């Protein structure tokens, strides 16, 4: 896991490359490497996870010296692929996974990507053919950006990097993409496009590879989940057994590490399933390179707020007999570093990045550079209540509608809190859904899946169609982007067993009844994990989510910060937003006890474009 940089078909000095790499030094605190030849430069910032010696440094060449690679990510099945390549006569210089990727590319070309189980963004330069090969993993877990450069002879030239900020020093002019930055509806769902917050920078698409030469870039998609649906048992019990087996193996290969492992534990189903599965694996013969130092649970604590889940997290760690590190998320000690956080986060979003960045900072301070987390389960298996109602379109009886309603109603608290929901009968929910009252907003926000014209997509049930869009088009790609920045700002690697491609295949091969079985959300996950996770967690229905208690913060530890911002001459003079309107929103939340969580989020998302732009401007001005 690292930060990568490359410049193709343009001469730049070593000092320029190093300056670009310094902007992403947080991604790789363990070293810097630069390789240059003629008009090609490759740069790397290393976060050492496998083979901690210098022999794992990048850029890395093959034994023949023909190829050079820079790589960000983890190849979880590198041991199996290495043995296969050794059987074909390949020799290895180190014990890292980078050389496995390089030799796999030499042996199988682009078809090596089909063999990889992992997350990646990498580039291979062929010194003989003078060509560049780029690739990004199936689901876009690891980022990759590029910009096209001017050349004296008019040939095609590009620069690529793990973050946009590394490309800015190479660009003649840096301009904010106002259409993206200034419209919250756009920047929530633009991750599946090539557009970025800076004009002239493009996002390399997930599940794709490209060959680059002096004439241009030829890009091709190598993975489509719809091409890889599988046959699953008809029996629900057999489906849960199938999921359990796959999930335990997905966790096992993600425990391959030469450094300590941890988990960002919420006490919800997904992260609990992950850490409890790690515990079960560690009890037996886990296999080669599996690190048994996994007992590091980091729990974000929001004392006195409705978002605090420490009670449930403690239930999990008590069940496992391990200690918890409770990280009190208090921004008051970081007010003078908020600009730095916004700069490191790099993107714009509807909620504050502060809680997540503070949590992963705690992992770095605790010498736990790898965390195995539960991201992806909500999008794959149905964790968002408003998604459940789409299953109504496939119900054939009153009993099935009752099942959908039970899953929906059970996901909300009924305690009078801001997020509380009054329970509604199945018939009432069904009629309201048919009138599109409850789902109009969601449907309006969804990007139309590129698969919509595919017969196989239309054959999915209605819940799975929505989940497919959430997984591939909007919600999950955005969360993957965010969590990459949250964690890598502190040099922390996140591994996600739910995004093992075998799990994704299974997720879209089972129907809605298996995902809402018994009136529970993500029921196939719950039932597969029974006996592995505490019963209290398996049966917990309500969903809180990892968010910012923004109202409490704007009325408390961050009140003075926001007051200073909205009353500054710089803010009043910005043309990114309407200062009077946005300032009024912020002031209302700061000064009215009855302000709701929704109003707090709206106020923060309204002012965030200015905070983001100011952070980059301040950094550019030194």
Write out the residue limits of the CATH 3.60.20.10 domain(s) in the chain.
2-223
Smallest CA-to-CA distance from 81 within 52, 63, 106, 46 is with 106
Q: Do 133 and 516 contact (CB within 8 A), yes or no? A: no
Confidence of residue 433 (pLDDT cuts 50, 70, 90): confident
pLDDT band at 554 (very low <50, low <70, confident <90, very high): very high
* Stronger pLDDT, 241 or 309, i.e. the higher one: 241
- Please state, for a pLDDT cut of 70, what percent of the chain lies above it: 93
Question: What is the rounded CA–CA span in Å between residue 385 and residue 155?
Answer: 52
Task: Report the predicted TM-score, pTM, of the whole model to 2 decimal places.
Answer: 0.94
d(CA 128, CA 41): 15
Which pLDDT score, from 0 to 100, does residue 302 have? Answer: 80
Provide DSSP, 508-561. TTS-HHHHSGGG-TTHHHHHHTBTTB-HHHHT------S---HHHHHHTTTHHH
Contact 147, 171 (CB under 8 A): yes
Distances (CA, A) of 306 to 411, 419, 490, 546, 590: 15, 9, 27, 11, 18
Question: Bigger pLDDT: 50 or 417?
Answer: 50
Question: What pLDDT does 310 receive?
Answer: 83
Question: How much is the pLDDT for 446?
Answer: 53
Alpha carbon 46 to its chain's center:
20
pLDDT digits (tens, 9 = 90+) for 161-210: 999 999 999 999 999 999 889 887 776 678 888 999 999 999 999 999 99
- The CATH 3.40.50.620 domain(s) of the chain lie at 225-547
Distance (Å, rounded) from C-alpha 435 to C-alpha 14?
62
**Which pLDDT band, with edges at 50, 70 and 90, does 540 fall under?**
confident
449 DSSP assignment = P
Residue 284: band (very low, low, confident or very high) from pLDDT cuts 50, 70, 90 = confident
Q: What per-residue confidence (pLDDT) applies to 441?
A: 45
Spatial distance between the Cα atoms of 120 and 139, rounded to a whole number of angstroms = 10
Residues 186-213: b if buried by 16+ CB within 10 A, e if exposed: ebbbbbbeebbbbbbbbbbbbbbbbbbb
Predicted confidence at residue 498, as pLDDT, reads 98
Question: Facing residues of 211 across strands?
Answer: 133, 218
Q: 17-31, 235-249, 357-371, 422-436: which range is least confident on average?
A: 422-436
Pick from 346, 349, 304: nearest CA to 329: 304
Contact 71, 279 (CB under 8 A): no
What's the mean pLDDT in 400-424? Answer: 78
Predicted local confidence at residue 350, as pLDDT: 86
Taking Cα atoms as reference points, which of 69, 50, 74, 47 lies closest to residue 58?
69
CA–CA distances in Å: residue 508 to residues 22, 231, 465: 41, 10, 9
Angstrom distance (rounded) from CA 614 to CA 282: 47
H or E stretch including 125?
strand 118-126
Q: Which of 182, 277, 296 shows the shortest CA–CA distance to 528?
A: 277
518-539: average pLDDT: 95
Order of all β-strands in the sheet with 118-126: 60-61, 67-75, 118-126, 131-136, 208-213, 216-221
In this predicted structure, what is the pLDDT of residue 424? 86
Instruction: Kindly tell me the sign of the dihedral angle through the C-alpha atoms of 411, 415, 419, 423.
Output: positive
Q: Which fold has domain 225-547?
A: Rossmann fold (3.40.50)
Rounded Cα gap, residues 59 and 32, in angstroms = 9
Whole-number pLDDT of residue 338 = 92
Confidence of residue 444 (pLDDT cuts 50, 70, 90): very low
The pLDDT of 249-260, averaged and rounded, is 97
Beta bridge partners of 36: 41
pLDDT score for 448: 57
Nearest to 490 by CA among 7, 19, 20, 25: 25
CATH of 2-223, one of 3.60.20.10, 3.30.1330.10, 3.20.20.80, 3.40.50.620: 3.60.20.10
C-alpha closest to that of 605 among 615, 617, 597: 597
Mean pLDDT along residues 289-294: 93
Q: In whole angstroms, give the CA distance from residue 265 to residue 287.
A: 25
pLDDT-based confidence at 586, cuts 50/70/90?
A: very high
Lowest mean pLDDT among 12-16, 170-174, 289-293, 452-456: 452-456
Give the model's pLDDT for residue 187.
66
Taking the C-alpha atoms of residue 147 and residue 6, their distance in angstroms, rounded to an integer, is 11
At 416 the pLDDT is: 53
Degrees to nearest 5, angle at CA 469 with 178 and 426:
120
Q: CA 95 to CA 53: how far, in whole Å?
A: 9
In this predicted structure, the answer to whether residue 442 has a pLDDT above a threshold of 50 is: no
Give the pLDDT confidence of 339-394 residue by residue, as tens digits: 999 999 999 988 889 999 999 999 999 999 999 999 999 999 999 998 999 999 99
What DSSP string describes 477-514? HHHHHHHHHHHHTTT-EEE-GGGSHHHHHHHTTS-HHH
Mean pLDDT confidence for 60-84: 97
- Go through 529-560 and write b for each residue having 16 or more CB atoms within 10 A of its CB, e for each that does not: beebbbeebbebbbbbebbbbbbbbbbeebee
**pLDDT-derived band of residue 485, with 50, 70 and 90 as boundaries?**
very high
The CB density around residue 302, as the number of other CB atoms within 10 Å, is: 21
What is the number of alpha carbons within 13 Å of residue 560 lying toward its C-beta? 6
pLDDT of residue 330: 87
Q: CA-CA distance, 483 to 126, in Å (whole number)?
A: 32
Q: 67-75 and 60-61: which strand pairing?
A: antiparallel
Please give the mean pLDDT across all residues of the chain. Answer: 92
């Amino acid at each position: 896991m690292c930060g990568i940089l490359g410049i193709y078909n343009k001469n730049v000095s070593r000092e320029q490359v190093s300056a670009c790499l310094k902007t992403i030094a947080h991604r790789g605190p363990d070293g810097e490497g630069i390789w240059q030849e003629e008009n090609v430069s490759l740069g790397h910032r290393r976060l050492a996870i496998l083979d901690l010696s210098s022999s794992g440094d990048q850029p890395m060449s093959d034994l023949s010296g023909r190829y050079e690679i820079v790589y960000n990510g983890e190849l979880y099945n590198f041991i199996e692929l290495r043995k296969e390549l050794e059987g074909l006569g390949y020799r290895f210089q180190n014990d890292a996974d980078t050389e496995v990727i390089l030799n796999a590319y030499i042996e199988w070309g682009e078809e090596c990507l089909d063999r990889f189980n992992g997350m990646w963004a990498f580039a291979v330069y062929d010194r003989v053919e003078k060509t560049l090969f780029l690739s990004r993993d199936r689901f876009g877990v690891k980022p990759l950006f590029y910009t096209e450069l001017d050349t004296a002879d008019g040939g095609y030239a590009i620069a690529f990097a793990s973050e946009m900020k590394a490309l800015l020093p190479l660009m003649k002019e840096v301009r904010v993409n106002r259409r993206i930055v200034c419209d919250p509806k756009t920047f929530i769902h633009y991750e599946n496009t090539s557009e970025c917050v800076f004009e002239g920078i493009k996002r390399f698409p997930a599940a794709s590879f490209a060959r680059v030469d002096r004439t241009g870039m030829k890009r091709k998609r190598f993975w489509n989940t719809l091409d890889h649906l599988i046959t699953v048992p008809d029996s629900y019990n057999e489906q849960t057994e199938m999921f359990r087996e796959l999930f335990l193996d997905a966790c096992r290969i993600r425990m391959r590490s030469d450094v300590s492992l941890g988990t960002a534990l919420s006490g919800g189903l997904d992260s609990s399933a992950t850490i409890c599965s790690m515990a079960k694996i560690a009890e037996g013969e886990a296999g080669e390179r599996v690190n048994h130092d996994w007992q590091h649970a980091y729990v974000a604590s929001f004392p006195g707020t409705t978002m605090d889940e420490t009670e449930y997290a403690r239930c999990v760690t008590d069940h496992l007999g391990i200690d918890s590190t409770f990280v009190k998320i208090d921004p008051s000690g970081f007010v003078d570093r908020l600009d730095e956080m916004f700069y490191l986060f790099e993107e714009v979003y509807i909620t504050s990045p502060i809680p997540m960045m503070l949590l992963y900072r705690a992992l770095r301070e605790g010498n736990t550079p790898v965390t195995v987390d539960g991201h992806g389960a909500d999008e794959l298996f149905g964790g968002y209540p408003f998604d459940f109602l789409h299953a109504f379109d496939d119900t054939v009886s009153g009993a099935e509608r009752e099942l959908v309603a039970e899953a929906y109603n059970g996901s909300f608290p009924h305690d009078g809190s801001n997020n509380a929901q009054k329970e509604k009968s199945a018939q009432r929910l069904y009629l309201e859904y048919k009138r599109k009252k409850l789902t109009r907003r969601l449907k309006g926000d969804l990007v139309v899946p590129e698969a919509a014209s595919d017969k196989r997509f239309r054959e999915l049930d209605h819940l799975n169609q929505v989940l497919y869009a959430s997984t591939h088009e909007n919600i999950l790609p955005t969360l993957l982007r965010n969590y990459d920045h949250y964690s890598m700002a502190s040099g922390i690697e996140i591994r996600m067993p739910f995004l093992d491609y075998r799990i994704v295949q299974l997720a879209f091969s089972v129907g809605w009844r298996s995902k809402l079985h018994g009136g529970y959300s993500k029921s196939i996950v719950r039932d597969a994990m029974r006996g592995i996770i505490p019963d209290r967690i398996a049966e917990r229905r309500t969903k809180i989510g990892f968010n910012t208690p923004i109202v409490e913060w704007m009325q408390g530890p961050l009140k003075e910060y926001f007051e200073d911002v909205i009353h500054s001459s710089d803010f009043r003079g910005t043309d990114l937003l309407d200062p009077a309107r946005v300032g009024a929103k912020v002031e209302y939340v700061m000064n009215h006890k009855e302000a709701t969580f929704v109003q707090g989020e709206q106020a923060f998302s309204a002012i965030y474009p200015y905070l983001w732009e100011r952070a980059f401007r301040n950094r550019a001005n030194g």
